[in-house]
């Protein structure tokens, strides 16, 4: 079982889309890895504002610069794949970044997937996605995610790497909260970009839901009959996952042997502060 420990010579690459991928890249750098993030053209300024801390060893790589991407892949020890919306990473992209010729040093692949068991899903969950929060996970893309997981496992094996699949429900929050004391997360720019009212519920969620629960396998339930009320709820609810906790779990899993070649789910827990490094280790080694 392979682990990738933080040090100046350990490189973590992040490929994905949206806030969760930026958060993964930032937390990897905070943890002590050299980090790079594949970005679409024209997004550098916004992403830099979300990261905020210019001292962190994060390199933004243009997705159009194939030569530099190949160089980075050859230097990378771990790859993280995370997409913020309901879509999955294209199979050809996964095959490209997990190619035995280019990714010959990759030891661990950590991919964010979704809760696919279908528990407590249904009409009301789909209705909440349409009427209250377009980011609600309603299991409508289940088959694509199953195929995505199969590709992750197959290509990880092809490059000789272990895989870890981290499952999420409806992603909420992702930034530093009302006071930037938790500066390891995204900056307050996140709240500017997601604000839809005088006070953004994403900010309130981040202030209230810093805890995390981890469960091995695909066992996390959806919101069920309460879906319309929990869609933008600012406390811990079934079917929800904190972006901060999901990204933390992805990064922290790199150093834990017990997370090799397994999948686990991340659910919410009310708390004003996130788990400590010791608590994260206990959560992950207990899976």
User: DSSP letters of the chain?
Assistant: ------STT-EEEEEEESHHHHHHHHHHHHHT-EEEEEE-TT-HHHHHHHH--TTS-EEEEETT-HHHHHHHHHH-SEEEEEESSS----HHHHHHHT-TTT-TT--EEEEEEE--S-TT-SHHHHHHHHHT-TT---STTHHHHHHHHHHHHHHHHHTT-EEEEEEESEEE--B--SSTT-TTSB-THHHHHH--SSS-HHHHHHHHB-EEEEEESS-----GGGHHHHTT-SS--TTEEEHHHHHHHHHHGGG-GGGTTEEEEEEEE-BSSPPPHHHHHHHHHT-
pLDDT of residue 70: 96
Distance (Å, rounded) from C-alpha 250 to C-alpha 259? 10
Q: Average pLDDT over the chain, rounded to whole?
A: 96
Average pLDDT score over residue span 193-201: 84
pLDDT of residue 197: 75
Average pLDDT score over residue span 112-118: 97
198: pLDDT strictly greater than 70: no
115 token code pair: 């809760």
Average pLDDT score over residue span 152-173: 98
pLDDT of 210-235, one tens digit each? 999 999 999 999 999 999 999 999 99
112: pLDDT strictly greater than 70: yes
CA distance readout (Å), 60 to 65, 72, 155, 258: 11, 11, 24, 31
Angle between helices 44-51 and 19-31 (to 10 degrees): 50
This prediction's pTM: 0.97
pLDDT of 38-77, one tens digit each? 999 999 999 999 999 999 999 999 999 999 999 999 999 9
pLDDT of 7-33, one tens digit each? 989 999 999 999 999 999 999 999 999
CA 97 to chain CA centroid, nearest Å: 18
Average pLDDT score over residue span 82-109: 96
Backbone angles phi, psi at 134, to 5 degrees: -65, -15
Handedness of CA 24, 30, 36, 39 (dihedral sign): positive
Average pLDDT score over residue span 157-182: 94
């Amino acid at each position: 079982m392979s682990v990738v420990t933080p040090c100046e010579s350990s490189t973590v690459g992040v490929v994905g889309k949206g806030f969760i991928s930026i958060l993964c890249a930032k937390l990897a750098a905070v943890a002590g890895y050299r980090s790079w993030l594949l970005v679409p053209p024209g997004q550098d300024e916004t992403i830099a504002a979300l990261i905020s801390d210019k001292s962190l060893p994060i390199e933004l790589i243009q997705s159009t610069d194939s030569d530099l991407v190949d160089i980075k892949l050859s230097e990378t020890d771990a790859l993280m794949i995370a997409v913020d919306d309901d879509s999955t990473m294209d199979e050809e992209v996964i095959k490209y970044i997990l190619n035995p010729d280019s990714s010959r040093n990759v030891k661990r692949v950590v991919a964010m997937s979704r809760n696919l068991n279908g528990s407590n899903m249904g009409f009301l969950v789909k209705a909440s996605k349409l009427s209250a929060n377009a980011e609600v996970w309603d299991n409508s893309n289940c088959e694509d995610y199953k195929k995505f997981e199969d590709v992750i496992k197959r290509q990880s094996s092809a490059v000789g790497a272990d895989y870890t699949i981290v499952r999420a429900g409806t992603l909420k929050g992702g930034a530093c909260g009302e006071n930037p004391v938790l500066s390891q997360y995204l900056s307050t720019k996140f709240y500017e970009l997601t604000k839809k009212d005088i006070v953004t519920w994403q900010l309130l969620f981040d202030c209230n839901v810093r805890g995390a629960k981890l469960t091995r396998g695909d066992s996390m339930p959806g919101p069920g009959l309460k879906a319309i009320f929990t869609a933008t709820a600012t406390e811990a609810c079934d079917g929800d996952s904190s972006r901060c906790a999901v990204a933390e779990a992805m990064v922290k899993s790199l150093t834990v042997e017990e997370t090799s070649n397994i999948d686990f789910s991340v659910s919410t827990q009310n708390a004003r502060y996130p788990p400590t490094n010791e608590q994260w280790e206990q959560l992950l080694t207990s899976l």
